[in-house]
Amino acid sequence: MELRHLRYFLTVAEEGQFTRAASRLAMQQPPLSQQIRLLEEEIGFELFERLPRGVTLTQAGQSFAQDAQAMLDGLRQAVTKAARIARGELGFLSIGLTSSAGFHPLTTEVIRGFRRAYPEVAVDLAELNAAELIERLVSGQIHVAFLRKPVEMPEALNFELLFDEPMVVVLPTGHALLKSSAKKRPEIALKALAGEDFILVRRPGAPGMYADILDACRQAGFTPRIAREVPRMVSAINLVAAGLGLTFVPASMQRYDQAGAVYCTLKNPSVLSAPLHVAHAADLHNSAAARFIELVLAQCRT
DSSP code at position 262: E
For the domain made up of 164-274, give the CATH fold.
Answer: D-Maltodextrin-Binding Protein; domain 2 (3.40.190)
pLDDT band for position 73 (cuts 50, 70, 90)? confident
CA dist 32 and 44 (Å) reads 18
Q: What is the pLDDT of residue 61?
A: 87
191's CB contacts (< 8 A; 6+ apart) are: 220, 221, 222
> Could you check whether 91-162+275-301 and 164-274 share the same CATH topology?
yes
CATH of the domain spanning 3-86, picked from 3.30.930.10, 1.10.10.10, 3.30.565.10, 3.40.228.10: 1.10.10.10
pLDDT tens digits for range 175-188: 999 886 666 678 89
Q: What is the pLDDT of residue 232?
A: 87
pLDDT tens digits for range 116-170: 999 999 999 999 988 899 999 999 999 999 998 777 788 999 999 998 899 999 9
DSSP code at position 6: H
CATH number of the 91-162+275-301 domain: 3.40.190.10
Q: Which amino acid is at 189?
A: A
Closest CA to 190 of 180, 200, 182, 198: 198
List alpha helices for the chain, DSSP H: 3-15, 18-24, 29-43, 59-86, 99-103, 105-117, 130-139, 176-179, 207-219, 233-241, 287-301
Tell me the mean pLDDT in the region 24-46.
90
Give me the residue spans of the domains in the chain.
Answer: 3-86, 91-162+275-301, 164-274
Exposure of 93 by Cβ count < 10 A (0-12 exposed, 13-18 middle, 19+ buried)? buried
Among 141-155, 195-209, 282-296, name the one with the lowest average pLDDT.
195-209
CA dist 229 and 217 (Å) reads 17
Please, which residues bridge with residue 264 across strands?
169
b/e code 220-237 from CB counts within 10 Å (16+ = b): beeebeeeebbebbbbbb
CA dist 136 and 203 (Å) reads 18
Q: How many CB atoms lie under 10 A from the CB of residue 131?
A: 20
Tell me the mean pLDDT in the region 51-61.
89
Closest CA to 143 of 174, 177, 111, 175: 111
Q: What is the pLDDT of residue 210?
A: 86
The more confidently predicted of residues 204 and 257 is 257
Closest CA to 107 of 91, 122, 89, 127: 127
